Amino acid sequence: MYLSCGVIPSLHVYLSGHRGKGKSMKGLLCVYYGALCSIVFAQTGVQLYEAGRKAHVQEDWYAAIEFYQEALKKNASYNLAYRGLAECFYALGEYDQALHHVRKAQKLMAQDLSLEKLCAFSLVGQGELDQARSLFEEILARYPNDVDARFGLAEIEVSKGRLSSARLLYQAALERQAENRKALLSLALISYEAGHYPRALTYVERALQYHGDNAQVHFFAAYLATLRAHYEDAERYLERALHIKSAYPRARALLSAVLYARGAYERAVAQCDQRIRADRTQVDAWYVKTLSLLKLGKHTEALATAKVGLTVDPRDDLMRILLEEIAIVHLEYEDEYRMQLARFHTQKADGFARRNMSRQALDEYRRALKVYPYDGAAREAYARLLLRFGYPERSLEQLKFLQSIGKSSARINDAVEAYEKTHARSIKNRWRVDALYLDKAHLSISLFYHPDPANALHPEAERFFLTQVQDSFAYNRRLKVTGYSARSHSYREAFRTAREAGDDYFALITMQEHGQDLRVRLELYIASTGSRAHTFDAYRSGNDRYQSVLRRITQMLNDRLPIMGTVVRRHQSEAVIDLGTQDAELQGKSLEVVKRRAVSVLKEGVGLAYRREDVLGHFTVTKVSEDMSEGVLRRVGYYDHISVGDAVICEPRLPDSSATASDTFVHDGAMGMLLALLRSIR
């Protein structure tokens, strides 16, 4: 307890002068002590609130919440503490908690305008847009010049994707307060999002003119400069922001990423070290430090840093991907640490398998075996899962690999023998075609990535995502996928590289990340003409967002691409083609056979182009295996021109009327990133 100087000494003087006065003096003393304690407790509650307010101003939300809660333990009716808690939870995005504390404060402070507005803002955060709109409009009816209510209505418009309406509301607020910082910065962000960078720059310059002593203004000036890859300007703004406010974690985080983007790797490491000393739990600091050390050639130190970074937050997908890539490149296949890393994916795969989430389990087993190929238990489990999917030949390949590395068992040996007997009369044995040596990749795609400067806190995330996409398609033998992950490429560079390589398509991968939200876009182009064929968007939030987006993007791309095979063997009217259950549902279908080299990809959209006069006949599927199908040929016309090497078309597609495939959440996700920035403006 806090006791003011002089209170206790004076009390001792009082006691010493009145000893032996009997019980009446003791009673008086108890009253005195009671009054004193009540004053002390009241002062303690106020002090706790003031300490919370100080942390609040510094945007140390967790410390502020702790102090406010302690203040409420001293005084359960402390209305200002409830208001502070509501503001802190709102800043953390915990809108239900913010609303809970706002309503408690309103019971103690009826008709408080600031609480009404905070209540409405919290409702916007919860998605209760109609109720929030009613509250804001009611406030404006009473106070027509209230700018905060207009900010709230603007957020509602942004939530619905109506940026033009939001801009008008922010402008209306600016007309009433020409120097309002939040209005200027919000208009700058919305103008940039709408594609009007000169207008955004104008608002930033006005904000700097009126509020040059505010660190947040310099931070957003740096953020917008980063979006345009103007890293020198961004660095200058950030240094000014940190000069004004040295304890500014967001500014220091962006500065470390900007320094990395500029190639100042040693300075980036120094900034990351400073961030880590202030707070070791900032996983993005460990991430940028690891990347910088890799660029400096300090691979051992980078591996050690990445290890620590992953222990800080084991759920961080990107940190794990980075650590695994370092281990794959710089550690031996048999290294024990690679086995430890793979165990994470094996355990996840086992969990998915138990819940009958077979597709997710398949992906996790594949990743585990990429990290540590000699994990016998994981490979055997993977083989069982392949068998469940109806791929016995691929399952047999996995078991034979275990035999080849000396990790077999009686159970595995018996299974191999049984499968080989079962497939004695398979298509490949009957026609003497080894599926392993079939060249099934009749469509080729080059993958490139283009970094989005908005993803500054996780540089090179696009590169790691590209390698994951390439790894996923490594199991799809009908596609030849080449990943160019050594550096980023512009559209022009990607077009030239893919066209000169003779590929059919090329794809550019971009990514936007904010907090727990992740949006990935894969734009597919025709390699011969450079025209856009299709756009694939995926958005996910929360844990496992990278893996979820990866599965969604690869699934959409695989489903959209045309399916083409070739005639591999022929005997009279019977033939074998190199399409199987891995490629499409083929049993009983009739496929067109087209003259070799007469098929090309469409010049616009996704599909195959060929002339009707180049159709030589039809192939009716009678028996299917994983990589091949057996069937009967039927010629078109009097002469039989069908020969080995001719193309087989499965379900030819017409150009799509829709040029975009996306998740239903993608637009909400994009607006969510903008909303988070708007709400962070104080």
What CATH number is associated with residue 359? Answer: 1.25.40.10
Residue at which a domain ends, from 373, 392, 425: 425
The confidence score (pLDDT) of residue 661 equals 59
Both 391 and 451 in one domain: the answer is no
* pLDDT band of 637, cuts 50, 70, 90: confident
Q: Are residues 579 and 461 in the same domain?
A: no
Given a cut of 90, whether residue 453 has pLDDT beyond it is no
Q: Could you report the per-residue pLDDT of 642-652, keeping only the tens digit for each?
A: 999 999 998 64
387 and 484 assigned to the same domain: no
One domain for residues 387 and 468: no
pLDDT band at 19 (very low <50, low <70, confident <90, very high): very low
- Per-residue tokens: 323: 């650590």
Domain count, the chain: 3
Query: Is 2 a residue whose pLDDT tops 80?
Result: no
The residue-averaged pLDDT of 354-367 equals 93
State the first-to-last Cα distance of the chain, in angstroms, to the nearest integer. 34
Convert the pLDDT of each residue in 466-489 to its tens digit: 999 999 998 888 899 999 988 888
Given a cut of 90, whether residue 373 has pLDDT beyond it is yes
| Residue 278, number of CB atoms within 10 A of its CB | 12
Least confident span in 7-16, 228-237, 271-280: 7-16
Sequence-distant (6+) residues with CB within 8 A of 383 are 395, 396, 398, 399
Instruction: Kindly state whether residue 302 falls inside one of the protein's structural domains.
Output: no
For residue 531, the tally of other CB atoms under 10 A from its CB is 13
CATH number of the domain residue 526 falls in = 3.40.50.10610
Using pLDDT thresholds of 50, 70 and 90, give the confidence band for residue 351. very high
Q: What is the pLDDT of residue 524?
A: 96
- pLDDT the model gives residue 399: 93
CATH code of residue 624: 2.40.10.410
Instruction: Select from 584, 375, 389 the least CA-distant residue to 477.
Output: 584
Angstrom distance (rounded) from CA 113 to CA 145: 13
Quick one: average pLDDT of 568-588?
Answer: 90
Look at residues 512, 543, 510, 542 and name the one whose alpha carbon lies nearest to residue 524.
Answer: 510
Structure tokens at 407: 């990790």
DSSP state of 458: S
Same domain, 552 and 571: no
SS3 for 155-201, per residue? Answer: HHHHHCCCHHHHHHHHHHHHHHCCCCHHHHHHHHHHHHHCCCHHHHH
Segment 387-396 shows an average pLDDT of: 89
Q: Are residues 567 and 557 in the same domain?
A: no
Is the pLDDT at 554 greater than 90? The verdict is yes
Q: What pLDDT is stored for residue 11 in this prediction?
A: 35
Q: Which domain holds residue 383?
A: 330-425
Is 533 inside any structural domain?
A: yes
Between 530 and 544, the higher pLDDT residue: 530
pLDDT at 668 over 60: no
Question: So what's the pLDDT on residue 429?
Answer: 83
Q: Are residues 493 and 537 in the same domain?
A: yes
536-556: b (≥16 Cβ within 10 Å) or e: bbbbbbeeebbbbbbbbbbeb
Which pLDDT score, from 0 to 100, does residue 490 have?
A: 87
State mean pLDDT over 379-386: 94
Same domain, 553 and 577: no
Same-domain pairing of 450 and 546:
yes
* 58 within domain boundaries: no
Helix or strand run (H / E) with residue 125? helix 113-126
In a domain, 168, yes or no: no
pLDDT of residue 310: 94
The answer to whether position 102 is within a domain reads: no
CA 282 to chain CA mean position, Å: 17
Q: Among the ranges 111-115, 267-271, 600-604, 655-659, which has the highest mean pLDDT value?
A: 267-271
> Averaged over 69-95, what is the pLDDT?
88
Assess whether 491 and 403 both reside in one domain: no
Residue 502: pLDDT band (50, 70, 90) is: very high
Residue 155 confidence (pLDDT) above 50: yes
pTM given for the model: 0.81
Q: Tell me what the mean pLDDT of segment 406-415 comes to.
A: 89
Asked if residue 341 belongs to a domain, the reply is yes
458 and 598 both lie in a single domain: no
- For residues 13 and 449, what is the distance between their CA atoms, to the nearest angstrom? 80
Query: Is residue 470 assigned to a domain?
Result: yes
pLDDT recorded at residue 9: 37
Q: What number of other Cβ atoms are within 10 A of residue 80's Cβ?
A: 18
Rounded CA separation 183/145 (Å): 14
Give pLDDT, residue 227: 87
Sign of CA dihedral 63, 241, 290, 277: negative
**Per the domain annotation, does 37 fall within a domain?**
no
Q: Read off the pLDDT band of 535 (50, 70, 90).
A: very high
Tell me which DSSP letter residue 559 carries: H
Query: Does the pLDDT value for residue 530 go beyond 80?
Result: yes
Residues 619 and 544 in one domain: no
Q: What is the predicted pLDDT for the residue at 18?
A: 42
